[in-house]
Structure 1
Amino acid sequence: MTGSRPPAVRLRHLAAPLFALTVTLAAASPAGASTGHPTPTIVDTARGHGTVVSYTFDDGPNPVDTPRLLAVLRARHVRAVFCVQGDHAREYPALVRRIAAEGHLLCNHSLKHDDLGTWTVDQIRADLLATNAAIRAAVPHAHIPYFRAPFGSWGATPEVAAGLGMQPLGWRLAITDWEPPGTDELVRRLMDGITPGAVVLMHDGGGDRSQTVEAVNRTIPLLRAAGYRFTLPARGH
């Protein structure tokens, strides 16, 4: 079939590359471009006012579900935060590069997902620096604005992370997707548990996350229909 696309189709056709350019430029922004300065306060709120929400994903990347999740976020025009494990960044550097190139923010989630809650300041600093080095081996000069403690076991990590330029990132809603209960149940937990300003904790690594990916795909349009806007987490108080 020949001929030009109808106007609406042409607009959609042009929107994808324009969005890709926008998020790529955002990923390349220098560290100083972020608003606010890191503090030891654990933030669990999304930027902006009213019905805003932030999606965050832990324990990746993994070669099966992270690409599927990135495709969903790209199609839905949502930016998210990926809390990356250093050992996974070493194993799958191309996926870390893709996360950054598609405009998402990177978060330090420790080197091996150890419980850092009882570690000394020096031990924590060494782990966080090693994790940042693993991420930057994949994405040189990467901006890593957040740190999230494995298991939410914070100990002395907030002070160390802030000293290294990373805001401690918590959450208001965890849908317990590390024990996959079925996509319908994940959608229900998210829709029932969401509150304005929430940072939502989900996972793209640590196991089969196909249910999470589908729940993300289904809830984005539902939340938008309910008046929600997708933003990034706050940066200090």
Structure 2
Amino acid sequence: MRGTRADRPGPAGADADRPAPAGVDAGLVETVAGGGRVLGLTFDDGPNPVDTPRLLDVLRRHRVTAVFCLWGDHVEAHPEVVRRIVADGHVLGNHGMRHDDMGAWPPERIAADLRATDAAIRRAVPDAPIPYFRAPYGAWGCSPAVAAGLGMRPLGWRLAVGDWDPPPGTDEIARRLLDGVTPGAVVLLHDGGGDRSRTVAAVDRVVPVLRAQGWRFALP
């Protein structure tokens, strides 16, 4: 996810190329389970061969599990990083093959893109589940219903930190995280699509502060 639509994810469309399997909901997932001060970290546009491993080191040190929404072309370029994401216990999401705006695409074109991205991920990690899809740019169109038809929940967010280009500094990213988080929020950050060293540093700084304030980290 990058761009200007982070604060306005649209509703799920009514059409898809096939019905959703039983138990797969096409409604956007924007919260994590549990009451009180709980939040979930999600990262888009990776894998990045430099910043994603550094982020994984940070998350491991702080014992946080996150969702990584993967850009298909980047998966094909760096499958070893995807394998490490899975080995570290994190959860995967499909973020499209080439980070295209799918908002006006017909269902069959969306389905073909999502299937191609799933195939790229499974070539890297054949047995790893891919439970989520996140639309590039938050341009949902009819993609939630299509994703559900392919067995993936559409993953939204409650807080988009805005760490994409032009990237703010570490201090500003940390401030936006601390000031913007609300109970139950899914938080949108980036580990790819550019230099994400500031995001990595901000996460490293903020997680212990939030824990000291009584926040817990959970998955959507």
TM-score, length-scaled by structure 2: 0.89
Aligned: 1:232 with 2:195: no
Q: Deviations over 1:13-65 (max 9, x none)?
A: xxxxxxxxxxxxxxxxxxxxxxx932110111012221110000000001110
Q: What fraction of aligned residue pairs are identical, expressed as a percent? A: 65
Name structure 2 gaps, 5 residues minimum.
1-21
AA aligned to 2:154 is P
What is the CA-CA distance between 1:104 and the residue it aligns to? Answer: 0.2
Match of 2:62 among 76, 81, 90: 76
**1:203 is matched with which residue?**
190
- For residues 27 and 170 of structure 2, the distance between their equivalents in structure 1, rounded to whole angstroms, comes to 33
**Which structure has the greater CA radius of gyration?**
1
CA distance in 2 between partners of 1:38 and 1:195 (Å): 26
Q: CA RMSD in A?
A: 1.0
The answer to whether residue 62 in structure 2 is matched with residue 93 in structure 1 is no
Amino acid of the residue matched to residue 191 of structure 2? D
What is the total number of aligned residue pairs between the two structures? 198
Runs of 4+ in 1 over 2 A off after TM superposition: none
1:137 to 119, 123, 144: 123
What SS does the corresponding residue of 1:41 show, helix, strand or coil? coil
Higher relative contact order (CA 8 A, sep 6+): 2
Partner in structure 1 of residue 156 of structure 2:
170
Q: Which one has a larger percent helix, Structure 1 or Structure 2?
A: 1
Q: Distance in 2 between matches of 1:122 and 1:141?
A: 25
Displacement of 1:141 in angstroms is 2.3
Aligned to 1:201, the other structure's residue is in SS state strand
The amino acid across from 2:47 in the alignment is P
Q: Does 1:181 align with 2:168?
A: yes
2:200 is matched with: 213
Q: Structure 1 residue aligned with 2:25, among 26, 32, 39?
A: 39
TM-score (norm 1): 0.82
- Which residue is equivalent to 2:6? none
Q: CA deviation at 1:211?
A: 0.3
Distance 2:154 2:108 in 1: 17
5+ long unaligned stretches in structure 1: 1-35
2:195 and 2:57 mapped to 1: Cα distance?
Answer: 17
